[in-house]
Amino acid sequence: MPAIPEFELKCNEILMKSGLIDSFLQQEGEFLGHGWDELFIRAKKLLKIEDDGVLRGILLKQMFYRRATLHMEEGDYDEAINNFTTLIEFFPEYHTGYEARAECYCEMERYLEAINDFSAAIKLYPEWSPFYIRRADMKKETGYPEWAMADYNRAIKKNPDFAAGYYSRGRLKVDLEDYTGALKDFNKALSLGYKEEYIYEYRAVCKVSFNDFKGALNDLEQALKLDDYNLKARITRAELLKNLDRLDDAYEDYLIITRQAPAFALPFFELAVICYERGNLPEAKKYIARATELEEEEPDYFNLSGLIHMGTEKYGKAVSEFNKALELDPENPDILCNLAEACVRLGHFHKASGILRRVKKLNPDYADYYYVSAQICFAMKNPEMAIRHCSRALEIDPEYGHALYLRGLVKLSAGDWQGGEDDLTAAFYIKYPDADYSAMIKKLIEREKKRVKTLSD
Domain ranges of the chain: 1-126, 365-457
Length of the chain (residues): 457
Distance CA 342, CA 318 (A): 7
Contact assessment for residue 396 and residue 365, using Cβ atoms and an 8 Å cutoff: yes
Distance CA 420, CA 378 (A): 14
- For residue 411, pLDDT over 80 is answered with yes
Rounded to whole angstroms, what are the CA distances from 457 to 29, 179, 410, 413, 417? 102, 68, 21, 16, 19
Greatest extent of the chain over all pairs of C-alpha atoms, in Å? 118
Higher pLDDT, 197 or 50: 197
Helix axes 198-209, 231-243, angle to 10 degrees: 20
Higher pLDDT, 107 or 24: 107
| Fold equal for 1-126 and 365-457 | yes
How buried is 124 (Cβ within 10 angstroms: 0-12 exposed, 13-18 middle, 19+ buried)? buried
Distance CA 382, CA 351 (A): 18
CATH architecture of the domain 1-126 equals Alpha Horseshoe (1.25)
Rounded to whole angstroms, what are the CA distances from 254 to 15, 200, 217, 262, 271? 48, 20, 15, 11, 7
Q: What is the pLDDT of residue 32?
A: 47
pLDDT, one tens digit per residue, over 9-56 is 776 677 677 776 666 666 654 544 456 666 666 666 666 777 777 777
Picking from 262-271, 384-393, 447-456, which range would have the lowest pLDDT averaged per residue? Answer: 447-456
The sign of the torsion formed by the CA atoms of 135, 139, 141, 145 equals negative
Helix axes 401-413, 438-456, angle to 10 degrees: 30
Identify which of 149, 189, 195 has the alpha carbon closest to the alpha carbon of residue 172. 149
DSSP string, 187-202: HHHHHTT---THHHHH
Report DSSP state, residue 329. S
**Amino acid (1-letter code) at residue 399:** E
- Mean pLDDT score across all residues of the chain: 90
What H or E segment, with its residue span, contains residue 431? helix 417-431
Contact assessment for residue 116 and residue 100, using Cβ atoms and an 8 Å cutoff: no
Q: What fold does the segment set 365-457 form as a domain?
A: 1.25.40
Task: Centre a 10 Å sphere on the Cβ of residue 314 and count the other Cβ atoms it contains.
Answer: 15
Distance CA 383, CA 388 (A): 9
pLDDT confidence band for 1 (50 / 70 / 90): very low
Q: What is the pLDDT of residue 256?
A: 97
Phi and psi torsions of 96, nearest 5°: -65, -30
- For residue 172, pLDDT over 80 is answered with yes
Q: What is the pLDDT of residue 153?
A: 98
- For residue 5, pLDDT over 80 is answered with no
Distance CA 374, CA 385 (A): 7
Distance CA 457, CA 448 (A): 14
